[in-house]
Structures are given as C-alpha cells and as structure tokens.
Chains A and B, each alone.
Chain A
C-alpha cells in the first residue's frame, strides 16, 4: 500500500507547476480569455514538451506514460486554469486509444500526441470542450462515443461562461468508437476529475492567502470561525476529490477491474466539489471576489463547465448505488 506519487511523478508535478506559474499567470489567462483565444505560445510550448501525448502509447508517437502522469499534468493545468486545448486533446486521444480501431488510432493518435492536431470531447447537445477549433471530435451520446473528423462535423462555436476554453455545440454522424467504451469513458471522467483537483486546490490556496491578509475589525478575516470553517470545508472537498481522482488514475493504470467503480466515484464527486469549492472561494473573497480583476472567477467558471462535462452527479450516484446492490446480490446468491 503506497497511496502517493513516485519520485518521477512528483518531479513531473513540480516541473509542471513551475512552468505554468511562470508561463501562464493570471494576466496571461485573462488576456487569452478576453480575446476569446487560446494562449498559442503556451500551447506550442506544452506540445514541444510532449504534454498532449503523455499517456499515448509510444507506438503512436506518445510518451507511453500512464493515467497517473496524465492526471498529474491535468491537475496542474486546472491549478493554472491555463487557456489551451490540452484537455479536449487528451480526452479525445484517450477515447480513441481505448475504444478505437487500429485504423482510427493510426489516423489520429500521432497528430494528437504531438499537438499537430487538436481534439475535443463532449456530449451531444452539450457544450463540447475545445471543439470550436478542433480537428477531431469525440462525441458521446447515450454512453456511446463516436468519432468525427472536423470536415464531417457540424460545429457551432459557443461563447461559454468559461472563456478560457473554446466550446461548441457539435452534431454529425461520424464513426463509432466501439472498443472498450466503458474504459475509455471512465478514463476521460477521471482525467476531468484530476483537472478539478487542481481547480479546487488553487481556489483554496487563493482563499487562504486572501483571508490571512484581509483585515476587518482589526484582525485577519480568516480568524473568524465563519470564514475559517468555510476554508476547512473547502479542504474537505478538495482532499475528497483528490482521493477519488488519484484512486481512479491508479485503477486505470494498474487495476482495470476496478476502473468502472473508481470512475463512477470520481465522476460522482468531482463536479460538485469543484462548484462548491470555487463558489466558496468567491464568497470568502467578499466583494472583491465578485470582480473581474480578482481572478477567482476563472476557477468557478472552469469548474462549472468541467462539472457539466462529467454529467449529472445524481445519475452517477444512483448508478453507483445500483452497482453496489447488484454486486451484493451476486455475492449473496448461492453458487
């Protein structure tokens, strides 16, 4: 039992944190968001570092690392709320790699792995993350994913409340991704949950810093229990979604038989935790938190769209309860 990152994974995390802190501070995020564009310089740099292909097999030009390493990068991406098409690209690559045919993999993965192609992922009728400029889109309908080349897709760009990403509504036939659909969608959910871990952690860090500085009645507002307890609650949510996302990433790499259960857990918990923690961050910042300049709103907006991408938490929870009941009925049945 070792529920922690390896030395290599810690190094990846620290390097990613450092890189994004210097290349994608909030001024850059805001600039990209206000222009309705990605931060192209940052995206090129991340591609040169091989981020989009971190979990793609080496045979397809990726780095051949696992879901845990991908989770590490996405957590840091969320921490920075960086304006890049990384999430859509890695989600599309994950879906194609695990549920695609050899032909589909060969067609799309090499380009996605090095960032020559951008991907998108989302549901029919939903705002599909990173779809506005994508070359290839994975569209999910009723739990079944299909693959659409840009030329075959009807893409209607939408300015979502999260302007750090370029969303679109997408329609089109495409071709089915018919392989390990459950594994592919499970991994995608876990990856989104990992981004939300970073979003939550950033919201918490910003809030703790702010309430430790901001004084009213002669003391830092963080000394008031109403504020301090709100921060404690934010930590509870953050650590909870962290436990679920890390467990999921580990299961994806090392215990595929537990992937469905782990993905269900991550999907059920991450969206609400993200919304709760980032909403709390705005509240704890007071009036400042409601201003455009304060930057906490980027986290809140990202959390809202990520939560939507994960789908209904109550549906995930209901599915989990029925799964447990079914497993227990099977275990209790005479052999």
Chain B
C-alpha cells in the first residue's frame, strides 16, 4: 500500500511502482484526484 502526497508528488509511505505513479499522474490530469 502506498500513501501518496499529491502536493509534493512524493510517496509518504511505501514505495510506488512506476505504473502506479503514472496512473496517479493520469488521474490528476483528468481532474479525478
């Protein structure tokens, strides 16, 4: 499990695999996060 800081674009807990980071970026660009 990863806890992600959307403001700093950094993991707060756990390690985020590249695919997860890309998915988060995609969701942010679509305004869903």
A-B interaction: no
Interface residues of A (CB under 8 A from B): none
